[in-house]
Amino acid sequence: MERKKILEIKGLSKYFGGIKAIDNIDMELYEKEIVAIVGDNGAGKSTIIKTISGVYQKTAGEIFIYGNKANINNPSDAKEYGIETVYQDQGLIPILTAASNLFLGREKIRSNILGKLFKFTDDRYMKNETEKLLDQLDVNLKDINAPVYNLSGGQRQTVVVGRAVYWGGKILIFDEPTNNLGVKQERRVLDLIKKLREEFNLSIIVISHNIAHIFELVDRIIVLRNGKIVGEKLKNETNTNEIVSMITGVVVA
C-alpha cells in the first residue's frame, strides 16, 4: 500500500542577514513515520523546525501539507495545519494546573446562564478531559489539581504533548525531547513518542543529539551540516559510525 505523504518541504531556506542558517532543504514526512534531523551545533536543525512551525518566516521555499501548499506565517497558522512543536517545558504556565494549561486560551465555557452571561468556565469538564487524556497517554499525576511546577520535567513534557494531541495535531515535532531528563523520565518520553505513532497515528520529526535514542525511535535519519542536507539514510541501512561521520564530515575508522 502506498503510504500517504503528510508533509513535503521544497527548497526551504532561511537566511539571517548574510548567514544561511538553512539552504535549499528538501524533505518529506510520511504517515506514521518518525524521522530524525541530526547535525552538529549550529547545523540548522532548530531553524528548520522553527520555519516549519511559523516561528521564523522563510526566506525561500515551499511547504506542502497533504499535497496542498501551506501558507505558514506564524505559529497559529502552523497549528491550523496540524503542526505542533514540543520544546521541553515550552508554553506551560507553571502556576496553573495541567487542565488549565491544556485548555489555555481555549477554555470550555459553561453551557448554562452563568457561562452565557459571565463566561464562567466549566472546570469539571476540563478536569475530566485532562484526566482522560493523561490516562490515554499512560501518565499518572499524583495530584491533578497541583500546579504544573510540581511535576517532573517528563510529566510536564507529557502535558505539552497531550495538549498538542488533544487539539488535533497530526505532525508532532520534538526539539531535543530527552534533554535534561533523568534516565527513567527519558524512557517514558521515548515510550510516549512510540505510542503517539502506534496508537494516535501521528507523524513525528525528532531532533536529538542522542544517537542511541535516534536509533531506537526513528525510521529515517536526515543529516545536516552547515545548513545543508548532506545525507539521508533509512535506519536499517546505516549505523552509528556512518551517521557520526556524516555529521562531522570526518570518516570514523
Ligand X SMILES: Nc1ncnc2c1ncn2[C@@H]1O[C@H](COP(=O)(O)OP(=O)(O)OP(=O)(O)O)[C@@H](O)[C@H]1O
Name the β-bridge partners of 250: none
**Are 221 and 36 contacting, i.e. CB atoms less than 8 angstroms apart?**
yes
Among 16, 118, 149, 167, binds ligand X (CB under 6 A): 16
Distance CA 108, CA 129 (A): 11
Classify residue 219 by its DSSP letter: S
CB of 181 to ligand X, least distance (A): 17
Select the binding partner of residue 41 from Mg ion, ligand X, none (C-beta < 5 to 8 A, by kind).
Answer: ligand X
Among 13, 46, 130, 203, binds Mg ion (CB under 5 A): 46
Query: Any idea of the CA torsion for 224, 225, 230, 235, to the nearest 10 degrees?
Result: -40
For the record, the C-alpha cell of 165 comes out as: 494531541
Q: Does 21 bind ligand X (CB under 6 A)?
A: yes
Q: Which is nearer to Mg ion, 46 or 155 (CB)?
A: 46
CB of 61 to ligand X, least distance (A): 15
**Are 32 and 195 contacting, i.e. CB atoms less than 8 angstroms apart?**
no
Q: Does 158 bind Mg ion (CB under 5 A)?
A: no
Stretch that binds Mg ion, among 44-52, 93-101, 115-123, 157-165 (CB under 5 A): 44-52
Q: Which residue is nearest to Mg ion (CB)?
A: 46
For the record, the C-alpha cell of 186 comes out as: 527519558
Distance CA 78, CA 112 (A): 33
Q: Which x/- pattern over 40-79 shows residues binding ligand X (rule: CB under 6 A)?
A: -xxxxxxx--------------------------------
**Which residues, 94 to 113, sit near ligand X by CB under 6 A?**
none
For the record, the C-alpha cell of 72 comes out as: 505558514
Q: SS3 of 122, please?
A: coil
Q: Does 162 bind ligand X (CB under 6 A)?
A: no
Number of residues that bind ligand X (CB under 6 A): 11
Q: Does 39 bind ligand X (CB under 6 A)?
A: yes
Residue 128's contacts (CB-CB under 8 Å, 6 or more residues apart) are: none
List residues binding ligand X (CB under 6 A). 16, 19, 21, 39, 41-47
List residues binding Mg ion (CB under 5 A). 46
